[in-house]
C-alpha cells in the first residue's frame, strides 16, 4: 500500500508535506524566471528615419529662420538630438472662425503661417515603433518644443517613416 491510514506515503512522508515542497519549488522557479531570465530580445536596427513636423500659426521671422538656417534640431526640454532639418515649406495659416449667426468660416490669419518641417535622424526601428538613437519615441501626434540654430518653436509630428 502506498498511502497508510495516517495519510503518509510509504508510511514515512505526509502527502501535505509533498504538496508544500512542490509549491515551494514552483514558486522558486517562478521567481527565478521573472527576475533572472532575460525576456525575448527585441530586434533593433540603426536606420535613417525621416519625420515631418507641423508648426502652426508662426510669424514670417520663424519661417525664415527655419528655412535659412537649416541644421540640427534639439528637444528644448531634454536637450536630446532630434535630427537635421532637410526641408521646410509653409502655407498661409487658416483657422475656422465662428460667425455671429453660428456658421463657421475659414479665414486666413494675417501674418501667420503653418510650416512643415522635414527632419532626418539615425535611429532605431523595432516592433514598438521609431526611436532616435537616444530612445526618444517618434510617433505621429507627439508634440515637441524644439530648437534649431535660429528658432525655437513647438511642432507636432504628422508622419514618420524609414528612408530607404
The residues near 38 (Cβ < 8 Å, ≥ 6 apart) are none
Mean pLDDT to the nearest integer, 13-25: 87
Instruction: Report angle CA 69, 75, 80 to the nearest 5 degrees.
Output: 105
pLDDT at 8: 74
Which pLDDT belongs to residue 134? 85
Same domain for 61 and 102, yes or no, is: yes
State how many domains the chain has. 2
> Smallest Cα–Cα separation from 65: which of 102, 21, 117?
117
| 14 and 51 assigned to the same domain | no
Residue-level pLDDT at 36: 80
pLDDT computed for residue 43 by the predictor? 53
Q: Given pLDDT bands bounded at 50, 70 and 90, which one contains residue 39?
A: low
Please tell me whether residues 51 and 33 are part of one structural domain: no
128 and 51 share one domain: yes
Q: What is the spatial distance between Cα 150 and Cα 37, in angstroms, rounded to a whole number?
A: 49
pLDDT-based confidence at residue 1 (cuts at 50, 70, 90): low
- Report pLDDT digits (tens) over 93-148: 999 989 999 999 999 999 999 999 999 999 998 888 899 988 889 999 999 999 98
Q: Both 75 and 28 in a single domain?
A: no
The answer on 154 and 86 residing in a single domain is yes
Per-residue pLDDT, 135: 86
Can you tell me the distance from the alpha carbon of 62 to that of 82, in angstroms, rounded to the nearest whole number? 18
Tell me: do 33 and 75 sit in the same domain: no
pLDDT of residue 65: 92
Domain around 78: 45-162
Instruction: Give which of 104, 86, 85 is closest to 96, Cα–Cα.
Output: 104
Residue 40: pLDDT band with limits 50, 70, 90? low
> In this structure, are 31 and 50 located in the same domain?
no
- Residues 33 and 49 placed together within one structural domain of the fold: no
* pLDDT value of position 127: 82
pLDDT for the residue numbered 157: 96
24 and 102 in a common domain: no
46-80: per-residue pLDDT in tens? 889 999 999 999 999 999 999 988 889 999 988 88
d(CA 141, CA 160): 10
**Are residues 5 and 83 both part of a single domain?**
no
Contact 136, 74 (CB under 8 A): no
Helices (H) and strands (E) in the chain, counts: 2, 9
Q: Identify whether residues 72 and 133 lie together within a single domain.
A: yes
Amino acid at each position: 500500500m502506498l498511502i497508510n491510514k495516517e495519510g503518509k506515503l510509504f508510511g514515512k512522508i505526509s502527502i501535505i508535506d509533498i504538496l508544500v515542497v512542490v509549491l515551494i519549488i514552483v514558486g522558486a522557479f517562478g521567481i527565478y524566471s521573472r527576475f533572472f531570465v532575460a525576456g525575448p530580445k527585441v530586434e533593433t536596427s540603426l536606420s535613417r528615419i525621416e519625420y515631418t513636423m507641423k508648426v502652426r500659426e508662426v510669424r514670417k521671422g520663424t519661417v525664415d529662420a527655419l528655412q535659412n538656417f537649416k541644421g540640427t534640431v534639439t528637444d528644448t526640454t531634454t536637450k536630446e538630438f532630434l535630427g537635421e532639418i532637410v526641408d521646410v515649406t509653409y502655407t498661409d495659416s487658416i483657422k475656422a472662425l465662428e460667425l455671429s449667426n453660428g456658421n463657421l468660416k475659414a479665414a486666413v490669419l494675417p501674418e501667420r503661417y503653418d510650416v512643415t518641417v522635414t527632419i532626418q535622424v539615425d535611429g532605431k526601428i523595432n516592433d514598438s515603433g521609431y526611436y532616435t538613437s537616444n530612445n526618444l519615441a517618434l510617433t505621429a501626434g507627439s508634440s515637441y518644443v524644439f530648437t534649431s540654430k535660429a528658432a525655437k518653436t513647438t511642432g507636432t509630428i504628422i508622419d514618420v517613416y524609414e528612408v530607404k
